[in-house]
Structure 1
Amino acid sequence: MASNSELATKFKIVSDEAIKALKGNGSIEREDVLREARRVVQQLQAPVDYALRMVWAPVELAAAATACEMGIFSSLAHGNKPMTTEEIARSSKGGDVLLVQRIIQALAAHGLVDQTDERHYLANDITRDFTTPGRHGSAMTQMFSMRAYSALPWFLRKNGYKSPASLRECCWQEVYEGDGTIWEWMKEYPEMGRYFNDYMAAARPYTSSALGEEFPFGRLFEGSKKDDVVFVDVGGGHGHQAVSLRKSFPKERGRFILQDLPQVVDGKVLDDVEVMAHDMMKEQPVKGARAYYFRGVLHDHDDPVCRDFLQQIVKVMSRDSRLLVHDVIIDDFMPSVQSVRQDLGLMCLFAGRERTKAQMKALLESVGLAVVETYKAGPEKWSITEARLS
């Protein structure tokens, strides 16, 4: 049997090999190694180690968000060389050397920047990632969302430990006074809305590969003609998914339509994708399309609300039409950390939910649909649930 020292050496060798081979790629093998690495860390930790890491995690997020706001990440990334605290402070908001020192040492301790010696700090890949609008937006979005997360134990105690079912009666209202929703609050505070939009735009590459690789659209669009509507992106926001898929199917294969609320799509022009203002709670104007696609829409709502807008789709589907729901599916065994994080986060912010395969099936069947197949590109990826008229 190998000694503890020998085991530690072997582990380091294998770990270094895995990092060299897999870092930065989106392979299934990389996801498998990450899951195993998380399991190893959790099993090796003493309970107190795990508890300390978990309960102090909000402070790490607060330090990262503050560094984004102050420009500390940008200062380091643009300097492209080891910098002292004083140098970082000169190019950061406020210019307070003591404050910068306290933030930068927290960042270094958590691996968000590298410390090269007692006085100097250097940007790494994580530092540079935090200079992007998407990462800045994600940090600030989680900061204002964290107030709602913190209300969860008290909200559930007050309501008798029942899952929230209304957008106007969830944890959000516990900390942001009144019955206003998170969407209304972001309209009142447009800077926060911009952070959220930057976060959402950047989140897509991390949760999806190219849409055409995740579902057999060629089969669904088979025999289509130029005037046929083959793809309707309902509630599709800026149209990233429609534009991505359009590149794989020329105009001769049919029409693509992006639908969202007027305030989202007014003035928007996309290459070879029609833009249509539409409220999904109202009658669907496009009838008999090959695919009605919802990405990240159902998970914002509890079942009764989903049934309201899904029924509008069911009314206009033909026998050849398919409903495609692109959301997280929570695995019944060993679900991913991110899937359950998102589930509880959605519950706090919107009374929304991520669903298991059985819960998604039950929801779709309740409006007269039958699940054909569920497609998943990888362990940490979102799933596409295909459904037809039953």
Structure 2
Amino acid sequence: MPNATPNTPVDVALASTPCDMDNVPLLVSSITALSERLAASNSHEDRLQLLAKAHALVRALETPRETMIRHLWASDTANASLAIGYESGLFAQMAQGGGIAKTAAELAQAIGWTDTSFLARILRHLAATGYIVETGPDEYLPTRFTNAMTIPMIGASYPFVLRTATSATAHLPEYIKPMTHSSGSKNRDTSTLSAFQVAHSTTLNVFEYTYSIGLANAFNLHLAGSSAGVARWFDQGFYPVEDRLLAGISNKSEGGGDVAPVLLVDMGGGKGWHIKEFGSRYAHVIREGGYRLVLQDLPSVVDDVSLDPNSEEKWKVETMAHDFFEEQPIRGARAYSLNRVLHDWEDEQCRQILHRIKDAMRPGYSRLLINEVVVPRMGAKYEVTSQDLCMFMFTRAKERTEQDWYELLERDTGLKIRHIWSVANATQSLIECEVV
């Protein structure tokens, strides 16, 4: 036992003993009660509670050896198999014909593979891990999950993450040694290079690298997929848009003249999914007030944003090439928004971004809306904790606690946090700031 000490002996038999058998009856009882409650309520909150208990039951029943095999053998190979299934068109073919059972040979012919035997091995593993259903020897049915894998923002995420994040994850244990061990490796400057950059032997940041290897579209699809179904800050019951933004909006622009006033500037807004959805939600207000919505991002992002000139989107959203580290050209807008932007950057870069925005804001009028994770002191969800470690691997950044946000925004930047808004079961919050 390499990590055992004389004071803490660990019996090797522990590896083949269920992790928490004593808690299994209580978990089963909770699952039964929650199942009955969910059947009656169809509540999102009840579903999440039941899901958490189901995961806990699996962890309790598994032995440490079984958990290890699932983590290190099954999960990685399943992710690779899912990426293969998406890129080869396998899942699209399985969904054809209403999702009837098909053999490995039939599927190989449909996707143009000459090696049926290897496809059969992929299918067998996907069935063993529960992603498809085995109906006979080398015969399989798709599931709702694999049907969803044909949606690009879901399916494309797998090959994208495998090609970008997996190697960074593998480098993390070695990467952190200089931070945790006085005798750790000193052959690189971990204050400037991220684990991602070390893993890919590049000085480009994760965004530059992704675009340089032709994965820009996959990256944007992954961002859309990771946000699918997540509460938007402008959803009913989240941030009170009518009371906090629309009420009191000026009918004149900062520069005067005939230029229409700007309601919202979405900075680093990618392909514009958030701001276009916001525009659709409040189209009547925008139309009646003649307000402007502006999408800002780097030229490589916004130059190919498609806006149909025959649709209302043409007037709802303007695109503007802008680097948020540079001076903000739109001054005195009612609101500037940063959706999942600041978690990509360390505090020093965040301060630079925030000062640029602060300089453009009209005191007592403009709002800065920061849509980000606020990590709770206890009970953080794995979606939050895993994202926190991903941010560190990619950019040396992090997800921030409420204290972190107050220090960054009020102490370091001089902005005033008016309120932090959230809704039940949301993984992200909205931090509303102003200049006073």
Give the TM-score normalised by the residue count of structure 2.
Answer: 0.80
- The Cα shift of 1:166 comes to 7.8
Instruction: Count residues with an aligned counterpart.
Output: 383
The answer for the alignment partner of 1:157 in structure 2 is: 177
The CA distance in 2 between the partners of 1:355 and 1:5, in whole Å, is 35
The CA distance in 2 between the partners of 1:152 and 1:356, in whole Å, is 23
The answer for the alignment partner of 2:398 in structure 1 is: 353
Moved more, 267-276 or 5-14: 5-14
1:202 paired with 2:225, answer: yes
Cα-to-partner distance string for 1:262-283 (whole Å, 9 max, x where unaligned): 2222254344122222111111
- The Cα shift of 1:182 comes to 2.3
Runs of 5+ consecutive residues of structure 2 not aligned to the other structure = 1-22, 183-187, 252-259, 308-312
Which of the two has higher C-alpha Rg? 2
The answer for the alignment partner of 2:357 in structure 1 is: 313
Q: Which has the higher contact order (CA 8 A, sep 6+)?
A: 1
1:261 paired with 2:284, answer: no
The CA distance in 2 between the partners of 1:18 and 1:113, in whole Å, is 28
1:325 paired with 2:379, answer: no
The CA distance in 1 between the partners of 2:47 and 2:335, in whole Å, is 32
The answer for the alignment partner of 1:77 in structure 2 is: 95
Q: CA RMSD in A?
A: 2.8
Q: Equivalent residues in 2 for 1:112-191 (5 A)?
A: 112-144=131-163, 145-160=165-180, 169-190=193-214
The CA distance in 2 between the partners of 1:40 and 1:63, in whole Å, is 26
Pick aligned residue for 1:238 from 271, 282, 296: 271
The answer for the alignment partner of 2:423 in structure 1 is: 377
The answer for the alignment partner of 2:106 in structure 1 is: 87
- The Cα shift of 1:95 comes to 2.9
Pick aligned residue for 2:82 from 47, 57, 64: 64
SS at match of 1:180: coil
The answer for the alignment partner of 1:102 in structure 2 is: 121
Change (3 A) 1:6 1:30: closer
The CA distance in 1 between the partners of 2:29 and 2:325, in whole Å, is 58
The CA distance in 2 between the partners of 1:346 and 1:277, in whole Å, is 25
- The Cα shift of 1:384 comes to 0.9
SS at match of 2:176: helix
- The Cα shift of 1:181 comes to 2.3
**Same amino acid, percent of matched pairs:** 27
Change (3 A) 1:140 1:19: farther
Corresponding letter in the other structure for 2:294: I
Corresponding letter in the other structure for 2:126: L
Pick aligned residue for 2:379 from 334, 338, 358: 334
Change (3 A) 1:367 1:277: same
The CA distance in 1 between the partners of 2:26 and 2:378, in whole Å, is 30
Cα-to-partner distance string for 1:10-66 (whole Å, 9 max, x where unaligned): 67765765676688x7x2332233233323333343333333322232222111112
Change (3 A) 1:267 1:52: closer
Q: Is 1:167–1:181's contact at 8 Å kept on the other side of the alignment?
A: no
The CA distance in 1 between the partners of 2:104 and 2:406, in whole Å, is 55
Cα-to-partner distance string for 1:214-233 (whole Å, 9 max, x where unaligned): 31111122032553322111
Runs of 5+ consecutive residues of structure 1 not aligned to the other structure = none
SS at match of 2:360: coil
Corresponding letter in the other structure for 1:389: V
Change (3 A) 1:70 1:372: same
